[in-house]
Amino acid sequence: MNEPVITPELVAKHGITPEEYENILKILGRVPTYTELGIFSVMWSEHCSYKNTKPLLKTFPTRSDRIMVGAGEENAGIIDIGDNLAIAFKMESHNHPSAVEPFQGAATGVGGIIRDIFTMGARPICAMNSLRFGELQSPEVRRLFRGVVGGIAHYGNCFGIPTIAGEVCFDASYEGNPLVNAFCLGVLRHEQIARGAAKGIGNPVFYVGPATGRDGLAGAAFASQDLTEASAEQQRGAVQVGDPFMEKLVMEACLELLAAKDAVAGIQDMGAAGLTCSTCETAARAGTGIEIELSKVPQRATGMTPYEIMLSESQERMLIIVNKGHEAEVQRIFDKWDLPWSEIGVVTDTGRMVVRNHGEVVADIPAAKIANDSPVYHRESKEPEYLNDVRAFQISSVQDTTTATQDLEALLAVPTIASKNWVYRQYDHQVRDGSVVCPGSDAAVVRIKADSLPMLSEGQSETVPAGTEKYIAMAVDGNGTYVYLDPYEGSKTVVAECARNLACTGAIPLGSTDNLNFGNPHHPELFYQLKESVRGLAEACDVFGAPVTGGNVSLYNQNPHGAIDPTPTIAIVGLVEKKEHITTQWFKDEGDVIILLGEAVDEGDPNLGLGGSAYLQNRKGIKNGTPPRCDLKKEKAVQDATLDCIRAGWVKSAHDCSEGGLAVTLAECCFTKNVALNTPRFTGAQVDLSALKCARKDALLFGETQSRIIVSVSPANADKILAKAKEHSVPAAVIGKVTGSGKDSELSIRLAQETLSWNVSAIYGTWWNAIGSVMDAAAH
């Protein structure tokens, strides 16, 4: 084979530093082969090794009595939900691929995260996503947006999994570098947990799934470098092509094989770094070695080199370590599902990953050295200078609003705040009949029922009590602007808001998964953002009892004009103990009392909750000011009080107060219920804020002071709610009542000097159509 000569230029092209190359020479005791260089390149990339972030990630809380598989142990974390049931969940990014090929980049992001779940032995039952784009006025942003949403819809709908919740944000900082974070959750019995370890010396190693092609070559390395126009064009081949129908077959075959008694010793999907990652990681986890023969790997293209076969990220492929003597079972099951399979290797006792091609050794590396012992860097951190301007900003320099009525209408049309129905109507969010609360409320709720579970082994008796049903709530949140303006406080707020969404739904947090989307860690100012953000995330996850079970780090998110806003996204999964506790955000009945839990305005905040707010950005054109403070103790008290009231059966609706402030929250309570397809229910409300003290009208209406929830209750329960709030030391005030429903319904807000009013049907139209009108007009 005519392999390239290893030169300093070739080493640099693989993203390996001279110091790292010296380390490779020491590990091997010789110059690497071209294939070995490629293996080190992907395994020591940030995407696979977390070499720039490992020290930070160790600060996350990762343990609880419920955690069965923790962060970093396997492909996804697993949490006990009682009655011998457990859930597996995780979130990962596909940012760079989606910037280059939005449809396939997003589609294969969904495919990859689904594989992470069924690799654990769990049946995937629902998906979420968190998406960020530049400003919607840009034709290029609309192209990326349309492609990404189309790719997610295509893969999820064809695979047959409900995409049940998510978030979409638009900001100029994501121009040219969209963020596409995909989440999946699955369910299994305790005894069905599968492990990704190459156990059992002499056990055969099987490749199952479609043939390997040249798509996705070195995708992990591509994701670990700055995105430029030149790199995007060059790396179009680093974007994989997905086949959701094939993945469905692979999943069913793998779950059937896992149910075959004692057949599987270990299983791993071929995700980032493909065959390379799956072989060395399974061997490293088990403390064994692995030897494979590439001529036995099914190949889609002719003349593929060992380098290409090892680094390809072709989709829907799995590596299975089979217990010796059970080979025929693998063959029978995969033939039944009409899927390619091949016995490509064996587990050894050498501790080495040995790769042969037609018998010739092309790679021979200690497995643990590439899987676990990647370089670890403690990057320089320096506070960015722009934070001086942020702290110096004073809201008093901005004139108070004189157009509050128009301000609310305008905020409801801001794409980040407006209805995301243009997105989620493309997703099947009810397939499998487990969706209880669909997109459109604070958190989604899915029902775990008998047919949600993977199959049992032949002759095995059911270990889950008959008639058991569980209700799992989930939400995903992020706020790049807050984190940009104050990485520590902003990151605490991201977790607090996500937990608040669950509390409003009646759920207690069980655990979380995160996606850290940041810029180039070699820049001290950008690394400062990451370091401070992780500090805030870790502190908040600990307070809310939501330990991190795993996640993903996506660095080098830069467009040619600079880095994205630092954007940690967090997904929290919770348990609703009883079906009757499930709560939604829209007002229910005429005459119900509206109560504000939490302070109306944080008077101790010099910007009164307006720093970094949607109002300041969109109505004043200012992206500045210290964002609202997040007092975790106060936040926890508000959430606990809300949950106590929901469990007591007193709360009819609950909605967290976030972007756009109190006015936007109240408007959403009036119209977010859809009784049928595109058939909203309009409910009026009379609100009186005249007794609430605040120096500024805009701060009272549109300020984003944290730790606030709007609940509606029957008049008979209003005093009970106020008493419970007092018990938790939570400020609470009756601020109005729900009025009649219908097209003539009005939302009126009385202030000290005036009363504002809006026709609910009219502002609903603005909110509901804001994104669709832009996208549909552009399509014509």
CA distances from 613 to 136, 419, 493, 667 (A): 19, 18, 13, 17
**Residue 89 counted as domain residue:** no
Q: How is residue 751 written in tokens?
A: 């202030």
Calpha distance 524→285 (Å, rounded):
34
Domain boundary among 322, 346, 374: 374
Do 434 and 452 form a contact (C-beta atoms < 8 A)? yes
Calpha distance 573→541 (Å, rounded):
12
Calpha distance 194→190 (Å, rounded):
10
**Residue 364 counted as domain residue:** yes
Domain boundary among 346, 374, 402: 374
39 pLDDT higher than 70: yes
Which pLDDT value is given to residue 236?
52
Among 453-467, 643-657, 709-723, name the one with the lowest average pLDDT: 453-467
Instruction: Give the SS3 label for residue 240.
Output: coil
Cα dihedral: 543, 544, 545, 547 (round 10) = -90
Same domain, 259 and 356: yes
Do 101 and 155 form a contact (C-beta atoms < 8 A)? no
Containing structural domain, residue 51: 1-62+196-374
Arithmetic mean of pLDDT, 609-634? 98
**Residue 489 counted as domain residue:** yes
Question: What confidence tens digit (pLDDT) does each residue in 304-315 have?
Answer: 999 999 999 899
Question: Which of 244, 76, 248, 91 is CA-nearest to residue 166?
Answer: 91
Higher local confidence (pLDDT), 716 or 561: 716
**pLDDT > 70: percent of the chain:** 97
Residue 741's pLDDT band (cuts 50, 70, 90)? confident
Report the alpha-carbon angle 666-670-675, nearest 5: 145
Which pLDDT value is given to residue 225?
57
Mean pLDDT, all residues of the chain: 94
Same domain, 402 and 316: no
231 pLDDT higher than 60: no
Q: How is residue 224 written in tokens?
A: 């670990």
**pLDDT > 90: percent of the chain:** 88
Among 30-44, 107-121, 234-248, 599-613, name the one with the lowest average pLDDT: 234-248
Domain count, the chain: 2
CA 304 to chain centre: 35
Domain boundary among 319, 354, 374: 374
Q: How is residue 120 written in tokens?
A: 């654990």
* Residue 692 neighbours by CB under 8 Å, 6+ apart: 600, 601, 700, 733, 735
Q: How is residue 158 written in tokens?
A: 């064809």
Residue 238's pLDDT band (cuts 50, 70, 90)? low
Which pLDDT value is given to residue 19?
95
Same domain, 369 and 395: no
Which pLDDT value is given to residue 217?
73
Calpha distance 508→472 (Å, rounded):
10
**Residue 72 counted as domain residue:** no
Active-site position among 94, 154, 581, 728: 94
Calpha distance 451→453 (Å, rounded):
5
Question: What confidence tens digit (pLDDT) does each residue in 334-369 have?
Answer: 999 999 999 999 999 999 999 999 999 999 999 999
**Residue 476 counted as domain residue:** yes
Question: What confidence tens digit (pLDDT) does each residue in 525-573 have?
Answer: 999 999 999 999 999 999 999 999 999 999 999 887 889 999 999 999 9
Residue given tokens 């947090």 in the structure block? 509
DSSP 658-718: -TTHHHHHHHHHHH--EEETTEE--EEEEEE-TTS--S-HHHHHH---SS-EEEEE-GGGH
Same domain, 255 and 331: yes
Asked if 94 is an active-site residue, the reply is yes
Arithmetic mean of pLDDT, 691-713? 96
Same domain, 664 and 589: yes
Going by the DSSP 8-state scheme, the letter that residue 435 receives in this structure is: E
Same domain, 329 and 420: no
Instruction: Give the SS3 label for residue 441.
Output: strand
- The sign of the dihedral angle between the CA atoms of 391, 396, 397, 403 is positive
Please state the three-class secondary structure of 468-492 as a single string. CCEEEEEEEECCHHHHHHCHHHHHH
Same domain, 329 and 452: no
Same domain, 580 and 636: yes
Q: What's the pTM value of the predicted model, to 2 decimals?
A: 0.96
Same domain, 370 and 407: no
Asked if 47 is an active-site residue, the reply is yes
Which pLDDT value is given to residue 227?
58
Calpha distance 621→623 (Å, rounded):
7
Number of H helices, E strands in the chain: 27, 30
Which pLDDT value is given to residue 237?
58
240 pLDDT higher than 90: no
CATH number, domain of 584, equals: 3.90.650.10
Arithmetic mean of pLDDT, 12-26? 95
**Residue 75 counted as domain residue:** no
**Residue 115 counted as domain residue:** no
Same domain, 253 and 301: yes
Which pLDDT value is given to residue 123?
98
Among 155-159, 232-236, 514-518, name the one with the lowest average pLDDT: 232-236
Same domain, 396 and 370: no
Calpha distance 700→687 (Å, rounded):
13
Same domain, 364 and 508: no
Active-site position among 47, 154, 326, 581: 47
**Residue 616 counted as domain residue:** yes
Do 651 and 586 form a contact (C-beta atoms < 8 A)? no
Question: What confidence tens digit (pLDDT) does each residue in 471-490 have?
Answer: 999 999 999 999 999 999 99
